[in-house]
Copies of this chain bind each other. A is one copy, B any other.
Amino acid sequence: MSIYIKNAWYVAAWANEVNRDLLKRRILGEPIVLYRKNDGTPVALIDRCAHKLLPLSMGHLAGDNLQCGYHGLEYDCSGACVRVPGQDRIPATAKVRSFPLVERYNAIWIWMGDPAMADPSKIHTVRKIGEPGWSVVDGGYQLHGGDFLNIAENLQDPAHTTYVHVRTIGNPATSEVPVKVEQGDDYVVAYRWSNNVPPPPIDKKNGNFKGLVDRCQYYNYFAPCVSRVDVVTMDAGQEHTEENMDKGLRVYSYKFLTPETESTTHFFWMQVRNFGAGDAKVQAELFAGLNQTFAEDNVIVTAVQREQAATGVRQQTWLSIDAGPSRVRKMLEDMAAAEQA
């Protein structure tokens, strides 16, 4: 059985990656070519000419059409061939698949499943983006060497932070705090509050904390492809109301997972926060720090994927910290099975 869940919106690219050049990217195992029409509308087609299979990304744009680089066949944005040099009749088989796209949150979202189900209202809602006082770091991209299930488990797993991210966001003080897990129809959330603890180095710097803090982390996974980690760091001793939390440091850290193949994943990331607005240095440091953090995760999931492939086994012992990650995996596996049934 495939691990792919097709009827969903995935981030195909950041908006600024798609332009009048041809972008080649594999998504859910399919070769895709992305470009924009002259009016800016993004287009996604199968990257393989119906004639001799040459990748269309090796061709050229002819206005809004895509011209194959082998024999000049031209496809319009729906994937219909509209010109065959040397003949008037266009065969019914001369067409390639096109994919529904939506541009939102500086990203191009693609629907790989049944086009009739491609409802833009199903695109995940990113919190606070564009609201006053909230800043965004986006454009983050890494190709991760693990399948999206392993990555989803890793994202839903606070316990690894202390050991994998010791140089960045790791904080030994929180490692022994138990995590609570809740689940809905299409999400799992694991969370923990660590009260009266010293702030981790980055938070201390950004929030100007003088003493101990209360700190929470909510690890939300929204099936099939969105992870949102909410972090609040606030002066210790206050009630944990939304209002008080907004006075502290508050961050929504998004990852959008798009399977490239059954064993690799496009890892897009974005962060929305309520501090350091307009501060280019903070912005640059956040980008660099997060990029480094996720690169640390990539080293781990790549190694785990390799060992799983070598052994045919996923893990050999189960721990309490697996509760949240295991629920996410089961939710995603069930969803794939239901779709394929």
Residues of B within 8 A of A303 (CB): 54-55, 58
Interface 1/0s, chain A 307-321, versus B by CB < 8 A? 110010111111111
Can you tell how many copies of this chain the complex includes? Answer: 3
A105 interface contact, C-beta 8 A: no
Interface 1/0s, chain A 291-323, versus B by CB < 8 A? 000000001100110011001011111111100
Residues of B within 8 A of A180 (CB): none
A122 interface contact, C-beta 8 A: no
Residues of B within 8 A of A242 (CB): none
A137 interface contact, C-beta 8 A: no
Please, which residue of chain B has its CB at the minimum distance from the CB of A95?
A: B317
A71-B307 CB under 8 A given contacts A86-B175, A176-B85 = no
Provide the bound-state CA to CA distance between A260 and B314, in Å: 24
Partner of A163 from the list B55, B72, B304, B316 (CB cut-off 8 Å) is B72
Interface SS, A side:
loop
Partner of A72 from the list B53, B175, B299, B314 (CB cut-off 8 Å) is B175
A51 interface contact, C-beta 8 A: yes
A70-B164 CB under 8 A given contacts A54-B307, A304-B52 = yes
Residues of B within 8 A of A178 (CB): 86
A195 interface contact, C-beta 8 A: no
A307-B53 CB under 8 A given contacts A71-B160, A72-B162 = yes
| Contact in complex: A53, B308 (CB < 8 Å) | yes
| Contact in complex: A69, B163 (CB < 8 Å) | yes
Please, which residue of chain B has its CB at the minimum distance from the CB of A175?
A: B85
Provide the bound-state CA to CA distance between A24 and B317, in Å: 22
Residues of B within 8 A of A72 (CB): 159, 162-163, 175
Residues of B within 8 A of A313 (CB): 53
Residues of B within 8 A of A314 (CB): 53
A144 to chain B, nearest CB (A): 15
Residues of B within 8 A of A121 (CB): none
Provide the bound-state CA to CA distance between A159 and B313, in Å: 47
Selected A-B contacts with CB under 8 Å, 27 pairs: A48-B307, A50-B315, A50-B317, A51-B316, A54-B304, A58-B299, A58-B300, A67-B163, A69-B300, A70-B163, A70-B300, A71-B157, A71-B159, A71-B319, A71-B321, A72-B159, A72-B162, A72-B163, A85-B162, A85-B176, A86-B176, A86-B178, A91-B317, A91-B319, A93-B318, A94-B317, A94-B319
